[in-house]
């Protein structure tokens, strides 16, 4: 790795390059089960699974899948919330050399049909309520041969396992599944006697997962992530977090495992290092999250800004004991400084803001654990990760020092390309460099700062305006919980700025007046950046990983204006 300015600011124990172990994440799990056989690998709703039991379950489920015809280059979709069967199914699929297609349980039929058709999915592993409420009626449209149905109750300890189905059905989280061809019980397959699969040695350069992009700017594409991509990224993250003690940590796994952030940081990395996963099925349930941190003395917390903000504003949080947390990782969206400061005051932990993409497995940048942390920056590239800024309209030309440009990334975690999308792959990968679509700047110490998405940038009166900057200013107002800014068509300026805001909950004070918000922005922003319009919402539309969906706000606004103009 060529020496870069950021290498000088790495923590002393972090090298610029890594001597990688040539092991897949499947083999890392096998090693953890050999090192820590009786240590708890998974905690879920009162149940515990040891590393030995987890490895045995993976082997048995892999054998069951093989008996159904799953092998190298089969594609298996996994459509479940965070539950033990999600972990077992994922590692079993990779164990066979097949590809996992992680599918959002919140997807509509249109969305999962596109994904499964595009990937050529042969087998789907899903929950009983998703099968009965969403997928079963669409079965005739799919080319799927087998559906394997798991239940939350099967993951619970006795006697909760007997009682839970009645309670879960009331909440729509359980359903009776009638017997029919091609539909199998996860629990019965796991208990069955099947011929054990062969050795687990995998080609590290072979595709491990088709990780679909969120589709926030169009139809989602399947990023081909290899076994080497996944293995390299967990080793990079492990090298960076020098505080992580093997066989001793408690990881709160509340980030959805169908999303690449949760998959790598909250599952693959801790399982490689013998940590305990405290599985949480709903990242929006702040009360359950706080309870789990206290009960299980969680030490590492990967989360997104909305989750940190939710904990900060949870009723009675000042009386709760969150002191076990020693390090947090924040990604997916910019972290407001007030949110960071308040959370660190509550816990004594240190939040490291980072950055990543689906196409990079995902982590590429992080602030240092011990060295200088620059608030508002995404930190520095990880070991063996290179980055540069180029002109948006000509990615072959780097921008001048101090200027903003599109962020390009190169490293062992960068995807192979997009599944069946040769043109999109060639557009995104230039001689090994990934075009991120993010506008960024870098300072003299090698710390990068994301300015905004190329497609989110607002051009008003000839000025470039970045919504993240405005959102950060608004989120710092004591009367606001969060904000999201978009550009809307304007016949004179091209676009004008509108911000959607959410008032602070549990407050006896009235929400700030629009005039107050405009004055707040005028004190902190150039005049052309100050929103011309504001609108209060009860909540902002968010993705499954609590990332604000500006696209939905734009669509809502444009539909409203179209109706009003008629």
CATH of residue 537's domain is: 3.30.300.30
Q: Position of tokens 């080497």?
A: 228
395 found inside a domain: no
Q: Taking a C-beta distance cutoff of 8 angstroms, is the pair 563, 495 a contact?
A: no
CA within 13 Å, CB half, 395: 20
CA-CA distance, 485 to 490, in Å (whole number)?
15
pLDDT at position 302 is: 96
Q: Taking 60 as the threshold, does the pLDDT of residue 494 lie above it?
A: yes
Q: Is the pLDDT of residue 385 over 80?
A: yes
The answer, yes or no, to whether residue 217 has pLDDT greater than 60, is: no
Q: CB-side exposure of 445: number of CA atoms within 13 Å?
A: 14
Question: Does residue 82 lie within any of the structural domains?
Answer: no
Helix (H, G, I), strand (E, B) or coil at 224: strand
Q: What is the pLDDT of residue 214?
A: 63
Identify the band that residue 462 occupies on the pLDDT scale cut at 50, 70 and 90.
Answer: low
User: Containing domain of residue 521, as a range?
Assistant: 458-565
**Across residues 503-519, what is the average pLDDT?**
89
Res. 200 pLDDT band, cuts 50 70 90: low
- Alpha-carbon span 145 to 74, nearest angstrom: 11
The CA distance from 79 to 544, in Å, is 13
**In-domain check, residue 510:** yes
Q: If you average pLDDT over residues 247-268, what whole number do you get? A: 96
Q: What is the pLDDT of residue 210?
A: 98
- Residues 47, 159 contacting (CB under 8 angstroms): no
Work out the percent of the chain whose per-residue pLDDT is above 70. 98
Identify the weakest region by mean pLDDT among 115-119, 292-296, 397-401.
397-401
What integer pLDDT is reported at residue 305 of this predicted model? Answer: 86
Token pair of 379, please? Answer: 């930190």
Pick the most confident of 173-177, 215-219, 242-246, 539-543: 242-246
Percent of the residues in the chain that have a pLDDT greater than 90, as a whole number = 74
Q: What is the pLDDT of residue 268?
A: 98
Q: Per-residue b/e over 130-145, b at no fewer than 16 CB within 10 Å? A: bbbebbbeeeeebebe
Residue 249 lies in a domain: no
Whether 522 maps to a domain, the answer reads yes
Are 61 and 190 in contact by the 8 Å Cβ rule? The answer is yes
The answer on pLDDT for 461 being more than 80 is no
| Total domains, the chain | 1
Q: What would the mean pLDDT of 57-75 be, rounded to a whole number?
A: 96
Residue 533 pLDDT grade (very low, low, confident, very high; cuts 50, 70, 90): very high
Whole-model pTM over 0.75? yes
Q: What is the pLDDT of residues 1-34, one digit of tens each?
A: 789 999 999 999 999 999 999 999 999 999 999 9
Mean pLDDT within 515-533 = 91
Q: Is residue 539 included in any domain, yes or no?
A: yes
| pLDDT at residue 27, as a whole number | 97
What does the pLDDT look like over 349-365, one tens digit per residue?
999 999 999 999 999 99
What band does 516 get if pLDDT is binned at 50, 70 and 90? very high
Task: Write down the pLDDT at residue 71.
Answer: 94
pLDDT value at position 216?
Answer: 41
**Domain-located, residue 540:** yes
Q: What is the mean pLDDT of residues 437-446?
A: 93
Residue 37 is predicted with a pLDDT of: 98
pLDDT: which is higher, 214 or 186: 186
DSSP 27-77: HHHHHHHHHSTTSEEEEETTEEEEHHHHHHHHHHHHHHHHHTT--TT-EEE
Report the C-alpha gap between 348 and 344 in whole angstroms: 5
In whole numbers, what is the pLDDT of the chain averaged over residues?
92
Give the mean model confidence (pLDDT) for residues 389-410.
91
**DSSP per residue, 297-337:** T--EEEE-HHHHHHHHTSTTGGGS--TT--EEEE-SS---H
């Amino acid at each position: 790795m060529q020496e870069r300015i950021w290498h000088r600011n790495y923590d002393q124990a972090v090298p610029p390059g890594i001597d990688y172990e040539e092991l897949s994440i499947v083999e890392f799990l096998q090693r953890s089960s050999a090192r820590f056989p009786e240590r708890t690998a998974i905690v879920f709703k009162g149940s515990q699974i040891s590393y030995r039991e987890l490895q045995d379950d993976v082997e048995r489920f892999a054998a069951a899948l093989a008996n159904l015809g799953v092998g190298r280059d089969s594609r298996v979709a996994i459509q479940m919330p965070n539950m033990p069967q999600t972990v077992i199914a994922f590692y079993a699929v990779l164990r066979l050399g097949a590809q996992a297609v992680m599918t959002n349980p919140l997807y509509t039929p249109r969305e999962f049909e596109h994904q499964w058709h595009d990937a050529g999915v042969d087998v789907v592993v899903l929950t009983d309520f998703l099968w009965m409420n969403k997928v079963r009626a669409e079965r005739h449209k799919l080319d799927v041969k087998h559906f394997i149905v798991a239940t939350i109750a099967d993951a619970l300890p006795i006697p909760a396992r007997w009682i839970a189905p009645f309670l879960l059905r009331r909440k729509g989280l359980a359903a009776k599944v009638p017997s029919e061809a091609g539909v199998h019980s996860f629990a019965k397959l796991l208990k069955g006697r099947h011929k054990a699969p062969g050795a687990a040695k995998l080609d590290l350069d072979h595709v491990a997962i088709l990780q679909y992009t969120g589709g926030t700017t169009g139809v989602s594409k399947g990023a081909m992530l290899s076994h080497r991509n996944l293995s390299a990224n967990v080793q990079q993250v492990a090298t960076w977090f020098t505080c992580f003690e093997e066989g001793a940590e408690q990881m709160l796994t509340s980030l959805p495992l169908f999303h690449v952030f949760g998959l790598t940081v909250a599952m693959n990395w801790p399982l490689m290092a013998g940590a305990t996963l405290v599985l949480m099925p709903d990242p929006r349930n702040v009360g359950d999250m706080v309870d789990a941190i206290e009960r299980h003395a969680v030490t590492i917390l990967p989360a997104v800004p909305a989750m940190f903000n939710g904990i900060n504003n949870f009723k009675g949080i000042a009386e709760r004991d969150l002191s076990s947390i020693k390090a947090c990782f924040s990604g997916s969206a910019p972290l407001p400084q007030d949110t960071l400061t308040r959370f660190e005051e509550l816990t004594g932990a240190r939040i490291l803001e980072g950055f990543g993409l689906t196409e990079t497995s995902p982590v590429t940048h992080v602030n240092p654990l011990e060295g200088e942390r620059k608030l508002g920056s995404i930190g520095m590239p990880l070991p063996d990760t290179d980055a540069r800024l180029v002109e948006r309209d000509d990615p072959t030309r780097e921008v001048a020092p101090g200027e903003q440009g599109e962020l390009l990334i190169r490293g062992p975690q960068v995807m192979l390309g997009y599944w069946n999308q040769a043109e999109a792959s060639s557009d995104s990968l230039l001689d090994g460099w990934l075009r991120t679509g993010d506008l960024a700047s870098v300072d003299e110490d090698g710390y990068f700062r994301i300015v905004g998405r190329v497609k989110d940038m607002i051009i008003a009166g000839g000025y470039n305006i970045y919504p993240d900057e405005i959102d950060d200013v608004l989120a710092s107002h004591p009367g606001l919980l969060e904000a999201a800014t978009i550009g809307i068509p304007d016949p004179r300026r091209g676009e004008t700025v509108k911000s959607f805001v959410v008032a602070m909950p549990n407050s006896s004070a009235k929400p700030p007046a629009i005039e107050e918000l405009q004055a707040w922005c005028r004190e902190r922003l150039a005049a052309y950046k100050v929103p011309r319009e504001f609108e209060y919402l009860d909540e902002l539309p968010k993705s499954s990983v609590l990332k604000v969906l500006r696209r939905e706000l734009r669509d809502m606004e444009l539909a409203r204006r179209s109706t009003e103009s008629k």
